[in-house]
A and B are shown apart, each in its own frame.
Chain A
Amino acid sequence: MKKIINLDINGQSQEVAVGPHHTLLQVLRDELGLLGTKKGCDTGGCGCCTVLVDGKAMYSCMIFAMAAQGKKITTVEGLTENATLDPVQQAFIETGAVQCGYCTCGMIMTAKAYLSSNSSHVPSDLEARQAIAGNLCRCTGYQKIVDAIRLAAGRRIVASSEKG
């Protein structure tokens, strides 16, 4: 049975009609047309549906839409502010961390959550790889994604030290 619920998505309240079995991923893509969040395995194994829920990286294919009420959901569309890319997005572009692009939005969201809660140092290669362990990429071999995460982390530290 469908119910009308409100979801807080990228800072906006969205009214959607959902059934008990609908996932957040289905609502984002099929109801709201937010196609940045990708559907891959649909069983929590590939990571390309990763979104932030109250700032934490989660698989949107595993969250019941009804259970997402009252939480702040951020998708890749919500990272851009005033037409300026998020530093993580920018770093992905500059390092060429994208090939087919299917995993990219999930990777960026996972990297964003990781860097938000580990802001004091530039992660080692190993730490960056562990941070994205829940996201699969079949093209890049991961190295450029790791480079992007480290680049974004480094810039963030420089920026915060300049602010003093």
Chain B
Amino acid sequence: MPSAIGKEFLQPDSGQEVVELLVKYGDRALVVGGGTFLHGLVARGVLREMDVLIDLQNAGLSYVKQERDALAIGATTTFAELAAAERVQNKPELGSVLDALRYPPAQIRNMATVGGCVATAMPLFDLPVAFMALDSSVRAVGPKGAREIGLHKFYLDYFEHVLERTELLTEILVPRQPSRSASAFLKLETNANDLALLNVGVRVTLDEKGTCRDARVVVGGGIGKVPVRAVSCEDVLKGQRPTLALLKESGNVVSFDIHPVSDFRTSAKYRSTVAKVFVRRTLLRAFGRLGVHLDGQS
């Protein structure tokens, strides 16, 4: 790795200590979780010089806890640890998270951290989309104390979020989901170690009669600067009985909510076309987890 990065390597013992270091070093410090994205940025010359690297592995932030109203996932919990956590097993409502964790190769799953993935604010990442479909929040600590921010208000732009330089993201909070809910996630990628060309996270909730009471559809991966909630797709579903035609209709209106970009990996036109199909397929997967199996799979 180029020596432009890091003159000091610090391993604080708590989140509070990290905040003290961030106050002390300000813009000169960079917080490192699993470090799996950092090295690529440095190699490409994207990351400017950083004097101090703050490694979080000793900060006591690796855990999955059930709080009264939410599942709290510590920031340094690795993808593999979260995927294996007992509290996320056999829960259709958390399907989007487990789906998203299956895509990266073993090496990345063993290293990458949940908090790092969320805090990098990279709109092509998967987990943020999966968490946003579940109305998740982040908890951050800073010099003024702790605060919670909904993920839908968290991201501003490529690599930019609302946290101050002196704040540390400590937890992702996945709220208790409504009963009869299931979620799912799908990603289009070119190989097993790729950023998303497009990704979709959904959560659907049925009422006692099997009507879709509520829905969340979130699209990410090259459709804008931040993942987008596709309200048009949700509105098509609400109050309706799920059918294949309804899911197709929901997918087809996604163009109202997303603004795909063209880049070296694929074109905006292709992303627009695939988004419709992927919304439909992700919905199919989520409804399937509620026992609603629609004929004539896409």
Q: How far is the CA of A44 from the CA of B105 in the complex (A)?
A: 10
Is A40 positioned at the interface, with any CB of B under 8 Å from its CB? Answer: no
| Chain A, residue nearest B105 (CB) | A134
Binds B, one of A19-27, A72-80, A154-162: A19-27
CA of A110 to CA of B107, assembled, Å: 8
Question: Which one of B3, B32, B107 contacts A57 once the chains associate, using CB atoms below 8 Å?
Answer: B107
Known: A1-B8, A43-B40, A61-B39. A20 touches B53 (CB 8 A): yes
Most buried by A among B8, B9, B11: B9
A1, A42, A45, A134: the one within 8 Å of B106 (CB): A134
- What per-residue 1/0 map shows which CB atoms of A16-39 lie under 8 Å from chain B? 000111110010000000000000
- A20, A43, A47, A56: the one contacting B105 at CB < 8 Å is A47
How many angstroms between the C-alpha atoms of A19 and B105 in the bound complex?
A: 29
Mark out the residues of chain B between 80 and 136 whose CB falls within 8 Å of any chain A CB in the assembled complex.
Answer: 80, 104-108, 110-111
**B54 shortest CB reach to chain A, Å:** 11
Q: Which residues of B contact A130 (CB under 8 A)?
A: 192
Cβ distance A52 to chain B, nearest Cβ, rounded Å = 10
Contact of A44 among B2, B6, B39 (CB under 8 A): B39
A113 CB within 8 Å of chain B: yes
Chain A interface, number of residues (Cβ within 8 angstroms):
33
> What residues on A are CB-neighbors of B193 within 8 Å?
44-45, 133-134
Number of inter-chain CB pairs below 8 Å: 96
User: In which size bucket is the chain B interface?
Assistant: 20 to 34
Q: Which of A19, A26, A62, A135 has the most CB of B within 10 A?
A: A62
If A42-B43, A62-B39 touch, whether A21 touches B192 (CB-CB below 8 Å) is no
- Complex CA–CA separation, A67 to B43 (angstroms): 19
CB of A131 within 8 A of CB of B111, answer no
For A106, the closest partner residue in chain B by CB is: B107
Asked if A62 and B111 sit within 8 Å, CB to CB, the answer is yes
Interface SS of chain A? mixed
User: Is A89 in contact with chain B by the CB < 8 A criterion?
Assistant: no
Q: A1 touches which one: B7, B40, B57 (CB < 8 A)?
A: B7
A19-B6, A56-B80, A58-B111 in contact; A26/B1 too (CB < 8 A)? yes
Q: Which residues does B use to contact A, with CB under 8 Å?
A: 1-9, 11, 32, 34-36, 38-40, 43-44, 53, 55, 57, 80, 104-108, 110-111, 192-193
Q: What are 13 pairs between A and B in contact, CB < 8 Å?
A: A19-B6, A20-B53, A26-B1, A44-B40, A56-B110, A57-B110, A62-B36, A64-B32, A66-B11, A110-B107, A133-B192, A134-B104, A134-B193
